[in-house]
Amino acid sequence: MQTKTGSPSGTPALAESRTSARVYQVLRLVAVVMFLFLFLPGLNPARISGLINRNLSLFTAGISHSQLVNGFSKAFRKGWIEESTLTALQIGSLACVFGILAQAGGMCASLGSHKLKRIGTGVTLGGAVVSMAGLGCIFACHNAFVNAEKADKLEPVLPVDFAVLAVFIAISAILSVILLATGKKAAKDEKCEIEPKYQLFLMCLPFLLLAFLFGYLPLYGWRYAFFDYKAGDVLSMSNFVGFKWFTYLVQNKATRRDIIRVMKNTLGISGLGIATSWASMIFAVFLAEIKNEKYRRFVQTFTTIPNFISWVLIFAVATAIFSTDGFISNLMIKAGVWTTGKNLLASDAHVWLQMLAWSLWKGLGWGAIVYIASISGIDQSLYEAAKVDGAGRFARMWNITIPELMPTYCVMLLMSVANILNNGMEQYLVFSNSANQASIQVLDLYVYNLGIGNGLIPLSTAIGMLKSVVSVVLLLVANRISKKARGESII
């Protein structure tokens, strides 16, 4: 009987807790959606004029005055609009950015204890107020554009994104007020704590955001593959062509022939890189055997530095050595072997091997870092037991170090197989010339030449999409083979 009489009194508290939890879930979802407004160019409420770049995001409009006013030079010169109006627009955009970030931070704090939730809700409410003030400033700038003497020249427009963002901010503010008004106040002695699982999530969150911004957000540009687009055009249904550029890759003989040649170069050079991927592991094994610590550090630093040298500087060094007036030509002429200097870089002989040699020199020390870290984690008792059994240095390397490094090597090998089509562009761009272009042009360089050199942005985007899809498929296939052969997988 006591249990039955006590249960009704606990029901409202339980219902309140569930209701507040659902409200917090809605607030977090709203914060995520508003965060997207910062970086997606198609969701920029600050684009209140047709003269503002269509590819400008709200975040860029808030932090970059030069990009915001780009295109208004004539309007300023003719006196159609004051530059102070664009400055106010930037301030309003920046206020929206800070407000949205504050709301996102407040929702991160809502994962903690009751006291921290109250603090986070207050920060969210403050961020909503700041964001709404920023939208008000943007709206005032819009009215200035509408009321300008040459309004038709400024092409004023109030995007739908403005109203959508205003609705989300209003929802965030109203729900925050409700939570602060109806929720119980936190005890003074309560600590601001977050559960360990949420702590780990918040620690990973910045890296997840970076992965989203630089890994997934650029996929928004894939839409260009479905339009007949040229630089400066507007994407609309009038230039929508569907899968035209994908079928063009197969139907056009010249393009098909170029793709076959480029794929041959790409797979050949990447295949050589995969075949020699063990070099970094072997280098790390021998480096770990150096007993003199100072000398080992010197060798490791000396071999790692080339990774931070740009390919432009490397090509300058290669030119000084292998050009007509370079070191090799002068040496061979003085030795009487050659009568005139030869430009060894302007030749298509053994281009793949040349690129492989430069790549190995540049990335050998850098690639060995992960193996050096793995070697430091090997149980030293294994080496001591091997010494007691009479095993020499090479026996310990062969029977202990290399087997312990094989799991790491297999993971790196799988990643190399998945990236077999992504062998970069910079190296082949700087070393490319009229003599070796047919043998050195890889897929990334071909896409660059199509998009930037020839202006075929949709076609290059379509090729880039297919390349990404093939890379993902190769990763899945390589992972499946590894799982069947070794019983282990990386995904």
SS3 letters for the chain?
A: CHHHHHHHHHHHHHHHHHHHHHHHHHHHHHHHHHHHHHHCHHHCCCCCECCCCCCCCHHHHHHCHHHHHCCCHHHHHHCCCCHHHHHHHHHHHHHHHHHHHHHHHHHHHCCECHHHHHHHHHHHHHHHHHHHHHHHHHHHHHHHHHCCCCHHHHCECCCHHHHHHHHHHHHHHHHHHHHHHHCCCCCCCCCCCECHHHHHHHHHHHHHHHHHHHHHHHHHHHHHHHECCCCCCCCCHHHECCCHHHHHHHHCHHHHHHHHHHHHHHHHHHHHHHHCCHHHHHHHHHHHCCCCHHHHHHHHHHHHHHHHCCHHHHHHHHHHHHCCCCHHHHHHHHCCCCCCCCCCCCCCCCHHHHHHHHHHHHHHHHHCHHHHHHHHCCCHHHHHHHHHCCCCHHHHHHHHHHHHHHHHHHHHHHHHHHCCCCCCCHHHHHHCCCCCHHHHCCHHHHHHHHHHHCCCHHHHHHHHHHHHHHHHHHHHHHHHHHHHHHCCCCC
Q: What per-residue confidence (pLDDT) applies to 14?
A: 45
The more confident residue out of 209 and 486 is 209
- Tell me if 463 sits within 8 A of 447, measured CB to CB: yes
Selection from 96, 95, 98, 65 nearest residue 83 by Cα: 65
Structure-block tokens of residue 322: 């292998």
Q: What per-residue confidence (pLDDT) applies to 3?
A: 42
Measure the CA–CA gap between 407 and 279, rounded to whole angstroms.
Answer: 16
pLDDT at 4 over 70: no
The residue-averaged pLDDT of 319-342 equals 88
- Tell me if 76 sits within 8 A of 83, measured CB to CB: yes
Measure the CA–CA gap between 199 and 193, rounded to whole angstroms.
Answer: 9
pLDDT above 70 as % of the chain: 96
- CA dist 201 → 29, 206, 207, 324 (Å): 16, 9, 10, 58
Q: What per-residue confidence (pLDDT) applies to 6?
A: 43
Confidence of residue 27 (pLDDT cuts 50, 70, 90): very high
pLDDT at 283 over 90: yes
Q: What per-residue confidence (pLDDT) applies to 491?
A: 67
pLDDT at 366 over 90: yes
Q: What per-residue confidence (pLDDT) applies to 198?
A: 85
Selection from 342, 357, 351 nearest residue 431 by Cα: 351
pLDDT at 302 over 50: yes
Crossing angle for the helix pair 351-367 and 293-304, nearest 10 degrees? Answer: 140
Q: What per-residue confidence (pLDDT) applies to 29?
A: 93
Measure the CA–CA gap between 246 and 462, rounded to whole angstroms.
Answer: 6
pLDDT at 16 over 60: no
pLDDT at 13 over 60: no
| Close Cβ partners of 330 (under 8 Å, ≥ 6 residues apart) | 341
Q: What per-residue confidence (pLDDT) applies to 205?
A: 86
Q: What per-residue confidence (pLDDT) applies to 301?
A: 92
Q: What per-residue confidence (pLDDT) applies to 10?
A: 46
Among the ranges given (72-81, 133-142, 276-285), the one the predictor scored with the smallest mean pLDDT = 72-81
Average pLDDT of the chain is: 87
Measure the CA–CA gap between 88 and 39, rounded to whole angstroms.
Answer: 20
Q: What per-residue confidence (pLDDT) applies to 265?
A: 93
The residue-averaged pLDDT of 454-479 equals 87
Residues 241, 243, 249, 252: is their CA dihedral positive or negative?
negative
- Tell me if 86 sits within 8 A of 132, measured CB to CB: no
- Per residue in 129-156, pLDDT (tens digit) is 999 999 999 999 999 999 888 888 888 9
Confidence of residue 121 (pLDDT cuts 50, 70, 90): very high
- Per residue in 235-257, pLDDT (tens digit) is 777 788 989 999 988 888 888 89
Confidence of residue 281 (pLDDT cuts 50, 70, 90): very high
The residue-averaged pLDDT of 58-71 equals 90
- Per residue in 471-487, pLDDT (tens digit) is 888 888 888 887 887 77
pLDDT at 8 over 60: no
Rg (CA), the chain: 31
Q: What per-residue confidence (pLDDT) applies to 417?
A: 86
The residue-averaged pLDDT of 211-220 equals 84
